[in-house]
Amino acid sequence: MVPANEKQRNAIEIAKRMIWWLYGGLKEYKLAPNGDQAEILRSRFDRIFKRARTGYVTLNSLLRRLFRNKAQLLLVLERPEIPLNTNAVLTRSRIAIRSTWRLSPDSGRPVSR
């Protein structure tokens, strides 16, 4: 994603911080799984990815798309033994991000759709 203005840059930064906050919680959960923490993490996921009114349409679309994969993305809450950062997950994330880009006909640089 290539933000066009400060509002969009801010929206991306907030989303990144919230996603890293979720990821940190998932890492902690893997060390000591419990039902209460799993519910907190599910709520945190909803708070991040249901929030599709960021002021940046491309980011909103990406957050909604990730929200639709909630069961798969939070599988670690049911099976803490699985790794959080498998190559398949990373590949899908890269594809999702790249699918929001196109190359500028003028400069050949990636620009947001």
Which structure tokens are listed for 95?
A: 């594809």
At residue 86, the pLDDT reads 60
At residue 20, the pLDDT reads 92
Question: Is residue 1 included in any domain, yes or no?
Answer: no
Quote the number of domains for the chain. Answer: 1
At residue 98, the pLDDT reads 62
Question: Is residue 73 included in any domain, yes or no?
Answer: yes
At residue 36, the pLDDT reads 95
Question: Is residue 31 included in any domain, yes or no?
Answer: yes
Question: Is residue 82 included in any domain, yes or no?
Answer: yes
State whether the Cα torsion 102-17-92-54 is positive or negative: negative
Question: Is residue 113 included in any domain, yes or no?
Answer: no
At residue 51, the pLDDT reads 72
Domain holding 34, by residue range, is 6-107
| Spans of the chain below 50 pLDDT | none
Question: Is residue 39 included in any domain, yes or no?
Answer: yes
At residue 31, the pLDDT reads 93
What is the value of pTM for the model shown? 0.71
At residue 101, the pLDDT reads 59
Task: Look at residues 21, 18, 20, 15 and name the one whose alpha carbon lies nearest to residue 3.
Answer: 15
Q: What is the DSSP string of the chain?
A: ---SSHHHHHHHHHHHHHHHHHHHHHHHHHHS--HHHHHHHHHHHHHHHS---SS-HHHHHHHHHHHHTHHHHTGGGT-TTS-SS-HHHHHHHHHHHHTTEEE-TTT--EEE-
Question: Is residue 112 included in any domain, yes or no?
Answer: no
